[in-house]
Structure 1
Amino acid sequence: MKNKQPKFVKKATLIWSILIALLVGGGIAYTVAYFQTRTIVSQAQATSASMQKIEAVYNNIQTNYYKSVSASKVTNGAIKGMISALDDPFSEYMDKSEATSLNNQISSSFSGIGAEVQKSGQYIKIISPIKGTPAKKAGLLPGDVITAVNGKSIAGKTITQAVNLMRGKIGTKVTLTIKRGGKSFKQTLTRAKIPVSTVNTKLVDKKIGYIQITSVSERTASELKAALKKLDKKGATAYVLDVRDNPGGLMDQALKMASMFLKNGKTIMRVQTKNGQQQIYKAGKKYDGGYKVTKPVAVLMNGGSASAAEIFAAALHQSADAPLIGTQSYGKGTVQTVSDFTDKSEMKITIAKWLTPNGDWINKKGLTPTYKADYPKYAYLQLINTKKTYQLGDVSSEVKTLQKELTALGYFSGKTNGYFGKTTQTAVQNYQKKAGLTITGKADAKTVVNLETKVQAKVAQNDRALAKAESLLSK
């Protein structure tokens, strides 16, 4: 078995050093060494007994099971069973095809729906939909639980198996069954190429550089550096770094990114193994190549900001005094390593905690914003099924969503109760007239798509977190 570099949800370029403390000093050293030796021997004996039991079960199956069974199938089942016993959503065994799929994801060379997921009980939970992807456009949210793909339950499947079901050729459709709170609904998405570029920029308020980082993959640090230089030439005097809905990625990239904004010697993060020992990562030329940003910055985050995105945000906040603006982040505070087997299968296993510069473990808690600010509630409305036309007399949750969207745009002031009555019909007619659509009073696919496009545009115009950042950086 060949050990590869660790993965932080995805792969991270990091070589772990196991530091062994040597105890010296008379009888104390002898006594400690004696008990340590006994412990090691005891552990070895326990391991040997366990392996003998596993071997006995394997031999029994091969010898006595009533029909032939593939040796690799039994072996893979045993390995997956051991990993499953850890009850850790980030530890996983992947066969050759599954490992290839994950490696493609790391290099951003894949097509699918565009959502970072983790195991949640028997099903799969969305950590974050990636901006500009089918998952984001369909209104999927962090915390949504995927229970079925194309009508087939994914209960008991690994993350990779479930993800492979969701992936497919660009342009093909996949239907997910989503559980959100106490409700369950189906959402059909059209698979697309997931964006390779992870950094987007623009100049806001004429002098503030806005940089959106959608994920943290192999080229993100270099993309960020290029974006900063580009905005510098345009006269940016401060930066807003947006990691909202950023599901994270490579730890080595997070180190490089954070180091650009920190003075040399400042702590970026800490990694703590199970024996309590910590490895401290500090800003310096080895990470940023000597490139430093000295202008004021603010970081935007939300519940979809996870893993490497949280490392980046925490480092800038605690070691460079950058304000965090938005909502509580996801809270993914563990580090994984990946081991290769000769048959090209891989085992991903959690090996350590990562801590913020101040030593905080944010796992399942997340980072708390300095200033709480969020999109308006209508930003989180589920997309309406465009396969149906909604008209007078209809009653459904989608009509209720339609009413909320019309309310957001100022066309509806009645009760959003899901009943398509005369008031709703009039609101639809008024919207259609204003939008230059055929006035029917029915919400057909063309009307719904047009309406939702307008709602999303209003969401962008009412970005309270960005407005707060601009206010702080303009002072």
Structure 2
Amino acid sequence: MEEGNKIMITKRKLFLLIAGIAVFSMVAGGMFALYAQSQMADEASLYFRLFRDTFYQAYSRYVVAPDPQKLIYGAIKGMLGSLDPHSQFLDAKTLKDLKVSTQGSFGGIGIQIDIRDNVLTVVSPIAGTPAAKLGIQAGDRIVKIENVSTRGITTDGAIGKLRGQPGTEVTISIQREGVDQLMDFTITRANIEIKSIPYSGFVKNKIGYIWLANFSEKSGPDLGRAIQSLENQGVKQLILDLRNNPGGLLNEAVEISSNFIDKGSMVVFTRGRLPDANRDFKVASDPLYGAKKGTMVVLINQGSASASEIVAGAMQDWDRALIIGQTSFGKGSVQTVIPLGDSIAMKLTTAKYYTPSGRCIHRDNSAWQSGEIDIYDDDTTKAKLDKLNNEGEEITKDTTGSDSLAAKEVFTTVGGLKRKVYGGGGITPDVKVDLPLLKKLESNLERKTLFFKFAIKYTVVNKDLPQNLEVDASMLAEFKKLLADEKFEYTEQEFKESEAYIKKAVKRELLSKLYGDKAMTAFLLEGDLQVQKAVELLEKHKDLNKLLQTGQNK
């Protein structure tokens, strides 16, 4: 009798579910008809019935009773995935992650982590956070979280356990180089800010440098403070580094551009299928660092995408800055987040964006399949989300496609100089500066994180190295001992050919371990070829028009 009741209950649930889908099908068909009253609507209604029938057969006849949520979620993911790589279904976890990336903060302990040698490892504690205050160090191996082994854990899995509401506690067990016993730390979570600007300062004389790493809600105010700080120190010229910045909120791209471009100027405009997707974005206030205050260079590479390309494109089109580096990614579409329930949503491509000169820098090629590089319609996305509650020399290949100018559509700048600029495949720099490829030995050393491991081991004994340290012969000998311990194979000829790179990489990791990421970044900028080119041209041309005329696109 009990088994019969279970069958009846299951059948009843199935009936209600199918009935609900059928009703939704009819409503959807009616909505399509009201909206379009066309053959297209009838065709869509027909395909919806096909979906309903397919779901019914899978749900009722599959060898093992399937989870209806998984069936529906899987179907939605497939449907949106067929449109483009950036339209997607956002389940509760994905939506939460999106909120973190756009809001620029989360509850956590303040460490950057990675899996190194199959062990969860602290790459770097974030200055000023609970973990840093308790003495968590780069290289610490997290072997337990809440007394549960981390063996086999993924980075995402660890993040899920370490993050939580500010004020709550989490206990981690640390294995540290040079310490025999495990070290237990009970850490009170706090609100952790994601830095939009990891570094700002001066690279030479009065040439300021700002590294903008992402576009979140905090990026505009953060940039304003960075500019003001440099101005207080007498900045005369400025480098804005957008390399490897994957983008983010559209309105933040407009706000960033507004710091440099005259009031009333167009920053970007969007065009889509529906009227509400057609919008113009203009500068609403006087710039904080306008053309009269100093010349500028913007750095881009193939990792600069979406919102980064809006800023670079606007600066180039208005003849406000010289663009140096490599052709950008070419991600020229806008995504809108549409709620589907209390904790789920869909992210849908609703428009393409255009620079002030009318360029669409959207690139159609296989590189699109490789990443989650998106720009979000801030006016709609932020409110709905609230409601729903490395370094340059490691780039070994330009994957963004051909840089041939002959294959690109030609436009002219709107700032007065009428320089040639190009559309149809990312932002083409005015001055192209490629970076050297890594040799095989260098690539293998980086891939196996051996520079990082050396810094962790070496600083156990050598804790008082000066910030202006030099990597000498004795230090290289110690590095070779580590390679022997790790059974890493190489030839002396290979080592000799890569010695300059090895010295630089060793110093990089030692500075990061002993003095933090800012000291490391300042050191890396000294040898950065694209930054060096920017400094060279800024020193040579104090006049903006003369600086811009040095570009290849004039």
TM normalised by structure 1 equals 0.61
Deviation at 1:392, TM superposition (A): 11
Asked if 2 retains the 8 angstrom alpha-carbon contact of 1:113 and 1:167, the reply is no
Within a 5 Å distance, the mapping from 1:180-195 to structure 2 comes to: none
Q: Residues 98 and 172 (structure 1 numbering): CA distance in 2 closer, same or farther, change over 3 Å? A: farther
| Distance in structure 2 (CA, Å) of the matches to 1:56 and 1:220 | 48
Query: Please, which of 501, 517, 522 is the counterpart of residue 408 of structure 1?
Result: 501
| Distance in structure 2 (CA, Å) of the matches to 1:373 and 1:98 | 37
Deviation at 1:258, TM superposition (A): 0.8
Within a 5 Å distance, the mapping from 1:276-425 to structure 2 comes to: 279=278, 281-285=280-284, 288=285, 291=288, 293-294=290-291, 295=293, 296-364=295-363, 365-377=425-437, 381=443, 382-383=446-447, 384-385=449-450, 386=453, 389-391=482-484, 396=489, 405-408=498-501
| Distance in structure 2 (CA, Å) of the matches to 1:251 and 1:366 | 17
| Distance in structure 1 (CA, Å) of the matches to 2:82 and 2:487 | 49
1:44 aligns with 2:41: yes
Q: Residues 205 and 290 (structure 1 numbering): CA distance in 2 closer, same or farther, change over 3 Å? A: closer
Query: Please, which of 458, 464, 467 is the counterpart of residue 529 of structure 2?
Result: 464
Within a 5 Å distance, the mapping from 1:32-431 to structure 2 comes to: 40-86=37-83, 88-110=84-106, 164=156, 167-168=159-160, 169=162, 196-199=194-197, 200-274=199-273, 279=278, 281-285=280-284, 288=285, 291=288, 293-294=290-291, 295=293, 296-364=295-363, 365-377=425-437, 381=443, 382-383=446-447, 384-385=449-450, 386=453, 389-391=482-484, 396=489, 405-408=498-501
SS in 2 for 1:320: coil
Deviation at 1:67, TM superposition (A): 3.9
SS in 1 for 2:71: helix
- AA at the equivalent of 1:239: L
- AA at the equivalent of 1:103: K
Q: Residues 376 and 106 (structure 1 numbering): CA distance in 2 closer, same or farther, change over 3 Å? A: same
Deviation at 1:37, TM superposition (A): 11
- AA at the equivalent of 1:196: I
Asked if 2 retains the 8 angstrom alpha-carbon contact of 1:378 and 1:408, the reply is no
SS in 2 for 1:390: helix
- AA at the equivalent of 2:428: T
Deviation at 1:458, TM superposition (A): 6.3
Deviations 1:206-257 (A, max 9, x none): 3222111111111101111111122112111221111112111111100111
Deviation at 1:320, TM superposition (A): 3.3
Q: Residues 66 and 228 (structure 1 numbering): CA distance in 2 closer, same or farther, change over 3 Å? A: same
| Distance in structure 1 (CA, Å) of the matches to 2:339 and 2:201 | 41
| Distance in structure 2 (CA, Å) of the matches to 1:340 and 1:393 | 51
| Distance in structure 2 (CA, Å) of the matches to 1:278 and 1:342 | 23
| Distance in structure 2 (CA, Å) of the matches to 1:214 and 1:455 | 16
Deviations 1:305-357 (A, max 9, x none): 11111111111111234110112212211111111122411111212211222
Asked if 2 retains the 8 angstrom alpha-carbon contact of 1:113 and 1:166, the reply is no
| Distance in structure 1 (CA, Å) of the matches to 2:500 and 2:283 | 51
Deviation at 1:80, TM superposition (A): 1.3
| Distance in structure 2 (CA, Å) of the matches to 1:84 and 1:465 | 37
Deviation at 1:409, TM superposition (A): 6.2
Q: Residues 172 and 368 (structure 1 numbering): CA distance in 2 closer, same or farther, change over 3 Å? A: farther
Instruction: Please identify which structure carries the higher helix content.
Output: 2
| Distance in structure 2 (CA, Å) of the matches to 1:465 and 1:349 | 36
Aligned length in residues = 350
**Which is bigger in relative contact order (C-alpha 8 A, separation at least 6)?**
1
| Distance in structure 2 (CA, Å) of the matches to 1:104 and 1:390 | 39
| Distance in structure 2 (CA, Å) of the matches to 1:400 and 1:218 | 50
| Distance in structure 1 (CA, Å) of the matches to 2:522 and 2:61 | 66
Q: Residues 114 and 262 (structure 1 numbering): CA distance in 2 closer, same or farther, change over 3 Å? A: farther
Deviation at 1:292, TM superposition (A): 5.4
Asked if 2 retains the 8 angstrom alpha-carbon contact of 1:268 and 1:319, the reply is no
- AA at the equivalent of 1:260: N
Q: Residues 344 and 391 (structure 1 numbering): CA distance in 2 closer, same or farther, change over 3 Å? A: closer
Q: Residues 205 and 292 (structure 1 numbering): CA distance in 2 closer, same or farther, change over 3 Å? A: closer
SS in 1 for 2:49: helix
Deviation at 1:52, TM superposition (A): 1.3
| Distance in structure 2 (CA, Å) of the matches to 1:326 and 1:306 | 14
Q: Residues 276 and 357 (structure 1 numbering): CA distance in 2 closer, same or farther, change over 3 Å? A: farther
Asked if 2 retains the 8 angstrom alpha-carbon contact of 1:214 and 1:243, the reply is yes
Deviation at 1:270, TM superposition (A): 2.3
Deviations 1:69-120 (A, max 9, x none): 332222212211211222x2211112122211221222233578699xxxxx
Q: Residues 65 and 391 (structure 1 numbering): CA distance in 2 closer, same or farther, change over 3 Å? A: closer
User: Could you tell me the percent identity over the aligned residues?
Assistant: 27
| Distance in structure 1 (CA, Å) of the matches to 2:173 and 2:80 | 33
